[in-house]
Amino acid sequence: MSSIFLTITGKGTDKPYNEPDKTDKTDKFNILNRVINMAINYGKIKYLKTCAAIKDLPDEDIPEIVLAGRSNVGKSSLVNALGSNKKLARVSQTPGKTQQIIYFDMDGQAILADLPGYGFSKASKTKSKDFSELCDNYFRVRKGIDLVLLLIDIRHEPSNDDIGMLNFLNSFGLPYFLVFTKCDKLSAQQVRKQLQMMSKYLDFTEDARVFAVSSTETNPQKSGLNDLKKALSDEICKL
């Protein structure tokens, strides 16, 4: 079982989801230092291209990071939160709207693929089939996926699709981070409880990294995003 950071306290406090409660000066300086030393400049995430079919996938020879998860889980919102730019990715109120793979360039050091969500879709049956096919085909044909960020809504039990996706990643040995989204919607105590519940349903690998984040929380010390950014940056540097 992976180590989940469970040092979470009450909603509305200044404490982040993932980090220990250290409010001394040293820690503040450490946080600042980490931000300065981040290899990826997240402010430099920019839109790269939209792919409606496998033949359109980019052939850049740089690491590829993939955002996967159910429709509406918060994939596009996470892109915007990482880049601190609400206009980067289109956030939709309607589940299942994005039926393309949207690529972002991460400071010239990696590319980030925002996949069509799996699971429910209000699109027509034909379109819905195409869009899950695009996702399936992506994983079937795409070589050199370096890291998958599997997003799961912290509030709900993982769906069969989530479990299937995780099993797929485990069985093919694809590296992944588990990213639990929308943590601002629960109290910190509820987040902790949900993480414990998730660990029963989901077969994390020993070394899986687990993050609890919010894309709408504007205080980066509280959103859990600093930890994710740091880990992502470290991972990309290793590639």
Ligand X SMILES: Nc1nc2c(ncn2[C@@H]2O[C@H](COP(=O)(O)OP(=O)(O)O)[C@@H](O)[C@H]2O)c(=O)[nH]1
Question: Which chain residues interact with ligand X by CB under 6 A?
Answer: 69, 71-77, 91-93, 117, 181-182, 184-185, 214-216
Exactly one of 18, 80, 98, 226 binds Mg ion (CB under 5 A); that residue is 98
Exactly one of 76, 80, 128, 214 binds Mg ion (CB under 5 A); that residue is 76
Q: For residue 64, list its beta bridge partners.
A: 111, 145
Q: d(Cα 133, Cα 127) in Å, to the nearest integer?
A: 10
Q: d(Cα 136, Cα 66) in Å, to the nearest integer?
A: 13
- Tell whether the torsion through CA atoms of 223, 224, 225 and 230 is positive or negative: positive
Q: d(Cα 33, Cα 133) in Å, to the nearest integer?
A: 43
In the bound state with Mg ion, the residue whose beta carbon lies nearer, of 101 and 195, is: 101
Beta-carbon neighbour count of residue 9 at 10 Å? Answer: 15
Is residue 128 a contact point for Mg ion (CB under 5 A)?
Answer: no
Report the nearest approach of ligand X to the CB of residue 124 (Å): 18
What's the maximum distance between 2 C-alpha atoms anywhere in the chain? 57
Tokens at residue 158, please? 């993982």
In the bound state with ligand X, the residue whose beta carbon lies nearer, of 26 and 73, is: 73
Q: Choose the one of Mg ion, ligand X, none that binds residue 150, judging by a C-beta under 5 to 8 angstroms depending on kind.
A: none
Report the nearest approach of ligand X to the CB of residue 123 (Å): 12
- The stretch near Mg ion (CB under 5 A) out of 8-16, 72-80, 156-164, 202-210 is 72-80
Binding residues (CB under 5 A) for Mg ion: these are 75-76, 98
